[in-house]
Amino acid sequence: MAYDVAQLLEMSQQQLDDLFRESPAGDIPNGEAEGTAIIAPGTRYSESIAKIINYFGWQGKVFDAEKGVLKNKITPFGVEAIVAKVGKGDSWLDGKECIVLDYSATSLVAHWIRDEIRLISPNFYLGKVYWGKERLIDFCLKF
C-alpha cells in the first residue's frame, strides 16, 4: 500500500508503531527529503502542529548516502545544520534492522538524539525520534 503524509497524521500511535514494525529498513536514502513531524498522532491537532513545526522549525533532511551523513533543514529559511551519521542498525522499537540517524558524535545541540527510519512506500520513510532511550515523536520523510 502506498502511504502519504495525510494518512500518517490520521493514524494512532499504535498504528504508526505497527506500520514501522511491519516495514523494511530500505536503502539509505540520498538527496533532499521533505519532512513532517507527527505529534499527537490521530488527533485533530496533528496536522496543525505539523504545519507550525514545518514553517518555523524543521523542514526535512538532506542525505549524503555515500558519506553516510545528513543535515537537517531548519528555521524558516531552510538552513542546513545539525549533522548526523547515517547507517544501518537495530531498532530500539523492535530490534529489527532500520536506518539509524545518530547525532551523538556530530552535534552539540542534538547529541542525545537518535532517529530511526524505515521505508513504508517508494521514496517515503517513517521515523521515530528518541531522546536518550525515551521515545519522543514520529516523523516522515518524502523524497
pLDDT digit string, tens, across residues 62-79: 999 999 999 999 999 999
| CB neighbour burial string for 130-140, b if at least 16 within 10 angstroms, e if fewer | beeeeeebbbb
- 0.85 exceeded by pTM: yes
pLDDT digit string, tens, across residues 14-62: 999 999 999 999 999 999 999 999 999 999 999 999 999 999 999 999 9
Alpha-carbon span 109 to 43, nearest angstrom: 30
7: nearest Cα among 115, 142, 118 = 142
142: nearest Cα among 12, 9, 18 = 9
